[in-house]
């Protein structure tokens, strides 16, 4: 059973769904025993792999899961069923925005037959991620983060046809959704600010893995390519969340539960 959450941001509805599970191993976060909080009866600690659908003037999908695959630490495959369960077919999606091009966030952009899954959509991503994961042959990347050939093929073709939009600076990609550069986890990592009626939901991608990071900058997870820059991005998010009482959620937050900070305490938002 995959977790689902619904958020209201002014007049917009945001549905969080999960493509599957990310298995957290010992030491993934620099808090001894942290993963024990999420262990099931068999001692396996899993976190969701979230995508977010924003219903407004457009149907916007934030992040595209891992795809119908399984590896040592990732199990995907549920996204299209989860979207169907909330009434969304791939062709309904007008805009896709990807927080970063790690394989648990872009997996459903293309089938293994090199066809675009969201074939009506414009796709937004950080320019520096596109350069690194798609343009570059990525010889320096660890094998686990190298982009699959069918994905590179489709993204290159979409780019050539003008359907990939590369984000350099804070950019309103559709009315009420702003892509915010938050580099560090990857060079072109983006968070997304969903705004309406004076309310805001921050979708953090992998800038943070757990709600406790909203107040503790020393809490880190593996896989940040530039830890110094990643910390700076987390501090930027922390200031925004603290100053405006903003609700925030990352792609791997346990139970797809969002959080906010009240009087320096992290509080779950249900």
- Interface residues toward Zn ion, by CB under 5 A: 104, 206
Token reading at 224? 């940040």
Token reading at 203? 């979708």
Q: Which is nearer to Zn ion, 164 or 204 (CB)?
A: 204
Which position has the token pair 């925004």? 240
Minimum gap (Å) between residue 251 Cβ and Zn ion: 5
Core vs surface per residue 250-262: b (16+ CB within 10 A) or e: bbbbbebebbbbe
Q: Which is nearer to Zn ion, 174 or 204 (CB)?
A: 204
Q: Which is nearer to Zn ion, 19 or 196 (CB)?
A: 19
Minimum gap (Å) between residue 87 Cβ and Zn ion: 26
Minimum gap (Å) between residue 200 Cβ and Zn ion: 22
DSSP 115-156: -BSSTT-EEEEEHHHIIIIIIS--TTS-GGGSPPHHHHHHHH
Minimum gap (Å) between residue 102 Cβ and Zn ion: 5
- β-partners of residue 17 are 51
Which position has the token pair 């922390």? 238
Q: Which is nearer to Zn ion, 13 or 223 (CB)?
A: 223
Give the alpha-carbon dihedral of 71, 74, 79, 82, to 10 degrees. Answer: 120
DSSP 84-124: HHTT--GGG--EEE-S--STTTSGGGB-TTS-BSSTT-EEE
3-state DSSP call for residue 18? strand
Q: Which is nearer to Zn ion, 12 or 203 (CB)?
A: 203
Minimum gap (Å) between residue 233 Cβ and Zn ion: 15
Note the maximum CA span of the chain: 51
Q: Which is nearer to Zn ion, 90 or 205 (CB)?
A: 205
| CB-count exposure of residue 14 (10 Å: 0-12, 13-18, 19+) | buried
Q: Which is nearer to Zn ion, 106 or 206 (CB)?
A: 206
Minimum gap (Å) between residue 63 Cβ and Zn ion: 8
Minimum gap (Å) between residue 19 Cβ and Zn ion: 11
């Amino acid at each position: 059973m995959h977790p689902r959450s619904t958020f209201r941001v002014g007049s917009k509805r945001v549905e969080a769904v999960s493509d599957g599970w990310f298995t957290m191993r010992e030491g993934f976060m620099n808090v001894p025993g942290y993963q024990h909080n999420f262990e099931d009866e068999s001692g396996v600690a899993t976190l969701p792999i979230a995508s977010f659908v924003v219903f407004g003037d457009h149907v916007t999908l934030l992040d595209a899961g891992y795809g119908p695959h399984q590896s040592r630490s990732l199990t995907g495959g549920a996204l299209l069923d989860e979207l169907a369960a909330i009434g969304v077919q791939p062709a309904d999606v007008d805009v896709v925005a990807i927080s970063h091009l790690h394989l648990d966030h872009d997996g459903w952009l293309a089938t293994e037959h090199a066809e675009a899954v969201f074939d009506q959509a414009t796709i937004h991503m950080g320019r520096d991620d596109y350069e690194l994961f798609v343009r570059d042959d990525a010889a320096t990347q660890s094998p686990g983060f190298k982009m699959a050939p069918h994905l590179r093929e489709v993204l290159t073709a979409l780019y050539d046809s003008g359907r990939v939009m590369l984000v350099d600076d804070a950019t309103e990609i559709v009315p009420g959704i702003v892509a915010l550069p938050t580099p560090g986890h990857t060079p072109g990592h983006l968070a997304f600010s969903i705004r309406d009626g004076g309310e805001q939901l921050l979708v953090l991608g992998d800038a943070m893995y757990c709600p406790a990071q909203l107040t503790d900058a020393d809490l880190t997870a593996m896989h940040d390519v530039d830890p110094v820059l990643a910390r700076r991005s987390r501090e930027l998010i922390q200031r925004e969340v603290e100053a405006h009482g903003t609700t925030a959620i990352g792609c791997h937050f346990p139970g797809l539960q969002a959080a906010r900070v009240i009087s320096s305490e992290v509080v779950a938002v249900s």
